[in-house]
A and B are shown apart, each in its own frame.
Chain A
Amino acid sequence: MRRYLLHRLGQSVVMLIGLLIIVFVLLRLSGDPTNLLAPRDATPEQRDAIRDAYGFDRPVVVQFGNFVRDAVQLDFGSSIRYKQPVRDIIFARMPATLELGAVAVVFSTMIGIPLGVLAGMKPRRGIDGSARGLALLGQTIPDFWLALVLILVFAVKLDWFPPFGRETFQLGPFDVPNQSIILPAFALCLFPMAQLLRFTRSSVLEIAGEDYVRIARSKGIPSRLIYRRYILKNAMIPLISILSLQVGALLSGSLYIEAVFSWPGAGGLLAEAVGNRDFPLVQGLAFLGGLITIVFSLLADVLYKLADPRIRLGAGR
């Protein structure tokens, strides 16, 4: 087990390096990145100045070396737009994204998992059909469009929630968001909820048909116990991985929702940065997003291996 952990950790480090390469290459895809940075009417001298300041005239390897050195310290330079270190900007906005992600995870698990379990226990009946329909909707509705619809119905027409922005109230020393988080979190949770539902359903369905469940019934122990110890316990194991991956995706991909709701998180920052051609900021965000994904994917693997005794304890004999 320990060997596996080390191996997996090593793999993650390799992926990190690869991520750095990708981010580096991405922003040089169009050739000289000076063009991305300089305003359109810049004079050649101004371009040269920029090129020099960012070191774009140095050999690629040197550039990459510098990039890696800086990236490890999370130094991505200063944002063109905000004139502040990229790192500071991103960190300032991360908490809002974390809040949103957390609430979205709560929603998606509270709706998706129970429905999935019900659908898996009674397949082909009424509940199953509705659950699968819901899952289908969740996977085909564009989240940004849903966000607009939600705003229209609940914020504008019904006036239950504010249509955009993050409003807070004081809870002790903390700045806690009020119901303004509900709509964006709900729009954000739709896709993961649908995924969770389908996955839980198929996991439960598969487990319920296993031999040991039938044997458990033949033992005459109460249904509740069979349900908990035999079906759920086994069905939930693969869910851990999916959840972990989803959290990673939520944190790094809340771009659209934050943009539509003007939620001051790091995700929305990307849309802005791209629009403003704020090169250093885009780079920093891309790296951070990738980092989060790698970490949560590592977590997904490790947690799964820990949860399943077959893997955790090895093949024994």
Chain B
Amino acid sequence: MTVGQLVEHRDDEPFAGPLRRSPLAKLRPLLRSPGGFVGASIFILLILLAVFAPLFAPQDPLKQSLRDANTPPFWMTDGSTKFLVGTDALGRDILSRLIYGSRVSLTVAVGGVLIAATLGMLLGLIAGYRGGRIDRIIVGGNDLLLSVPYILLVVVIAAVVGTSLVNVILIFGFTDIPIFVRVTRGEVLKLKESTFVEAARGVGVPRWRILWSHLVPNLVGPIGTLATFEMSSMILYEAGLGFLGLSVPPSTPSWGNMINAGRGALEVYPWISIAPGVAIVIAGMGLNLLGDWSRDALDPRSRRVKR
């Protein structure tokens, strides 16, 4: 380092310390970003609909009424405001079924991601922290799981193990572990290499403490973002399974099996299949927008530097 550099002030590279920002501080820009705002709103709406479905649904989703079967949505001829989005072949109100369907989608998404994230982070931590043989085993298992095409895996398991909500959650939870392992392990390795940790160790800070106070805050961002995207994927996959009849039983409304149910009558009563698809798209979009926002907000590189 030349002497001239002693006079110079290096503001361009912030001291690589832990992220000690309060998580709430990150929420304020959410209101500024249109994408993030929309995404968050959709997500919250989804949660509300799922939790308070009985309050929102105009009808009983299971109530059949052959007299009202195949009613079009209210904006088409022969539609009625009693069934805003029409009814299906058994006369059940589609709107109510959509709202109740959100329960399945959300439960699968949240449950699945919880399982995958928890186990994935655990494995990733162990792999990254311990290194050596354990690391190789875990990474090997990871890659192996990833090498089986997801759809195949999910479909086959579902066929073998039988269909129920719990099974679907478990399947998705377990098959989605690899990506969480990968991300967590990556962060642990990054931290291990950082000079900050070297410095802290040099001063005698115990390893577990470093991990706890520096790794965890650094993990929240990427894992949170990842979780959002994975939830969106799970909603899609659950619908796929439902479409094949491999998700919840057909009486329980799920967006996937609703699409399947309307398939036969696609030409004459298209709304039966189309409406649930729209719901899926909206939910997926909301989560994706939220994920995009969260990725941009938490990535230190895209933060506006003052100089």
Contact: B159 with A145, CB < 8 Å?
no
Check if B200 is an interface residue, CB within 8 A of chain A.
no
Q: How far is the CB of A58 from chain B (nearest CB, A)?
A: 20
Contact: A290 with B152, CB < 8 Å?
yes
Complex contacts, A146 vs chain B, CB 8 Å: 277
**Per-residue contact bits, chain B 115-157, to A (CB 8 Å; 1 contact, 0 not):** 0000000000000000000000000100111011111110111
Complex contacts, A271 vs chain B, CB 8 Å: 155, 244
- How many residues of A are counted as interface, with CB atoms below 8 angstroms from the partner's CB atoms? 46
Check if A30 is an interface residue, CB within 8 A of chain B.
yes
Contact: B150 with A145, CB < 8 Å?
no
Contact: A286 with B147, CB < 8 Å?
no
CB < 8 Å neighbour of A249 from B149, B157, B239, B267: B149
**Per-residue contact bits, chain A 1-39, to B (CB 8 Å; 1 contact, 0 not):** 000000000000011001100100011011000001000
Check if B274 is an interface residue, CB within 8 A of chain A.
yes
**Per-residue contact bits, chain A 233-270, to B (CB 8 Å; 1 contact, 0 not):** 00000000000000011001101100110000000001
Report A153-195 residues with CB < 8 Å from chain B CB: 156
CB < 8 Å neighbour of B151 from A19, A36, A156, A253: A253
Name which of B3-11, B182-190, B209-217, B282-290 contacts chain A: B282-290
Contact: A136 with B149, CB < 8 Å?
no
Contact: A140 with B160, CB < 8 Å?
no
Give the secondary structure class of A's interface: helix
Nearest B residue to A283 by beta-carbon distance?
Answer: B156
Check if B46 is an interface residue, CB within 8 A of chain A.
no
CB < 8 Å neighbour of A293 from B147, B246, B276, B288: B147
Residue among A18, A27, A297 with the most chain B CB within 10 A?
A18
Cα(A146)–Cα(B243), bound, Å: 13
Check if B221 is an interface residue, CB within 8 A of chain A.
no
Check if B104 is an interface residue, CB within 8 A of chain A.
no
Check if A148 is an interface residue, CB within 8 A of chain B.
yes
Q: How far is the CB of B35 from chain A (nearest CB, A)?
A: 9
Cα(A294)–Cα(B143), bound, Å: 10
Nearest A residue to B259 by beta-carbon distance?
Answer: A145
Complex contacts, A49 vs chain B, CB 8 Å: none
Complex contacts, B245 vs chain A, CB 8 Å: 275
CB < 8 Å neighbour of A156 from B267, B277, B280, B289: B267
Contact: B263 with A148, CB < 8 Å?
yes
Contact: B148 with A19, CB < 8 Å?
yes
Contact: B148 with A293, CB < 8 Å?
yes
Complex contacts, A255 vs chain B, CB 8 Å: 151-152, 155
CB < 8 Å neighbour of B149 from A30, A156, A253, A275: A253
Cα(A22)–Cα(B155), bound, Å: 14
Contact: B160 with A36, CB < 8 Å?
yes
Check if B247 is an interface residue, CB within 8 A of chain A.
no
Check if B18 is an interface residue, CB within 8 A of chain A.
no
Check if A149 is an interface residue, CB within 8 A of chain B.
yes
**Per-residue contact bits, chain A 134-145, to B (CB 8 Å; 1 contact, 0 not):** 001101111011
Contact: B246 with A274, CB < 8 Å?
yes
Contact: B285 with A140, CB < 8 Å?
yes
Complex contacts, A290 vs chain B, CB 8 Å: 147-149, 152
Contact: B240 with A256, CB < 8 Å?
yes
Contact: A144 with B240, CB < 8 Å?
yes
Complex contacts, B157 vs chain A, CB 8 Å: 26, 29
Residue among A144, A146, A286 with the most chain B CB within 10 A?
A144
Complex contacts, A144 vs chain B, CB 8 Å: 240, 243, 259
Check if A289 is an interface residue, CB within 8 A of chain B.
yes
Report A189-241 residues with CB < 8 Å from chain B CB: none
Nearest B residue to A298 by beta-carbon distance?
Answer: B147
Check if A282 is an interface residue, CB within 8 A of chain B.
yes
Contact: B160 with A30, CB < 8 Å?
yes
Cα(A19)–Cα(B145), bound, Å: 8
Complex contacts, B144 vs chain A, CB 8 Å: 15, 18-19, 22
Complex contacts, A277 vs chain B, CB 8 Å: 159
Q: How far is the CB of A288 from chain B (nearest CB, A)?
A: 9
Q: How far is the CB of B293 from chain A (nearest CB, A)?
A: 12
Check if A131 is an interface residue, CB within 8 A of chain B.
no
Check if A92 is an interface residue, CB within 8 A of chain B.
no
Contact: B273 with A282, CB < 8 Å?
no
**Per-residue contact bits, chain B 7-22, to A (CB 8 Å; 1 contact, 0 not):** 0000000000000000
Check if A151 is an interface residue, CB within 8 A of chain B.
yes
- Provide a sorted-by-A list of 17 A–B residue pairs whose CB atoms are within 8 angstroms: A14-B140, A15-B143, A15-B144, A22-B145, A30-B161, A139-B288, A140-B280, A140-B281, A142-B259, A142-B280, A142-B281, A148-B277, A253-B149, A255-B155, A256-B243, A271-B155, A289-B148
* Residues of chain B whose beta carbon lies under 8 Å from any beta carbon of chain A: 140, 143-145, 147-153, 155-157, 159-162, 232, 236, 239-240, 243-246, 259, 263, 266-267, 270, 273-274, 276-277, 280-281, 284-285, 288-289
Known contacts A19-B148, A140-B281; 5 additional CB pairs below 8 A are: A26-B157, A137-B285, A156-B267, A274-B156, A286-B156
